[in-house]
C-alpha cells in the first residue's frame, strides 16, 4: 500500500531558521525593486552576519556578484 508522505515533507514553520529562509527568499525576489539605500543596508547586514573571521573578505565580492548576476539594477556595494 502506497502512503502519501507529502504532508511529512512540508517544512516545519517553527524549525530553526525557517523564518530567516522565507524572508531571505522574499528579499531576493524583490531585490531589484528595492531603493539603493535599502539594498546597501541589507547587503552590509548580510556581510556582517556571514563573516566568521577576517579571512572572509571574499564574501563581499561573492555576494555582490551573486546579486549583480540576478538583478541588473543592483547598486555597487
pLDDT digits (tens, 9 = 90+) for 30-75: 999 999 999 999 999 999 988 876 566 789 999 999 999 987 765 4
For residues 39 and 9, what is the distance between their CA atoms, to the nearest angstrom? 33
Q: What is the pLDDT of residue 36?
A: 95
Q: 33, 47, 46: which is closest to 75 by C-alpha?
A: 33
Name the region of 35 (left: φ>0; alpha: ψ -120 to 50; beta: rest).
beta
For the chain, how many structural domains are there in total?
Answer: 1
State pTM to two decimals.
0.70
Question: Do the domain assignments include residue 66?
Answer: yes
16 Cβ partners below 8 Å, 6+ apart? none
Question: Do the domain assignments include residue 15?
Answer: no
Residue 50: CB atoms within 10 A of its CB come to 12
Question: Do the domain assignments include residue 53?
Answer: yes
List, in sequence order, the alpha helices (H) in the chain. Answer: 18-30, 36-50, 58-70
Question: Do the domain assignments include residue 65?
Answer: yes
Residue 28: CB atoms within 10 A of its CB come to 13
Question: Do the domain assignments include residue 17?
Answer: no
Q: Can you give the residue range of the structural domain that contains 62?
A: 34-77
Q: What is the pLDDT of residue 47?
A: 92
Examine the pLDDT at 15 and tell me if it is beyond 80: yes
Question: Do the domain assignments include residue 28?
Answer: no
Examine the pLDDT at 24 and tell me if it is beyond 70: yes
Examine the pLDDT at 6 and tell me if it is beyond 50: yes
Question: Do the domain assignments include residue 76?
Answer: yes
Amino acid at each position: 500500500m502506497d502512503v502519501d508522505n507529502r504532508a511529512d515533507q512540508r517544512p516545519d514553520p517553527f524549525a530553526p531558521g525557517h523564518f530567516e529562509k522565507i524572508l531571505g527568499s522574499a528579499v531576493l525576489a524583490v531585490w531589484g525593486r528595492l531603493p539603493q539605500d535599502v539594498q546597501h543596508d541589507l547587503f552590509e547586514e548580510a556581510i556582517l552576519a556571514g563573516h566568521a573571521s577576517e579571512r572572509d573578505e571574499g564574501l563581499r565580492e561573492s555576494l555582490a556578484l551573486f546579486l549583480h548576476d540576478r538583478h541588473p539594477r543592483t547598486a555597487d556595494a
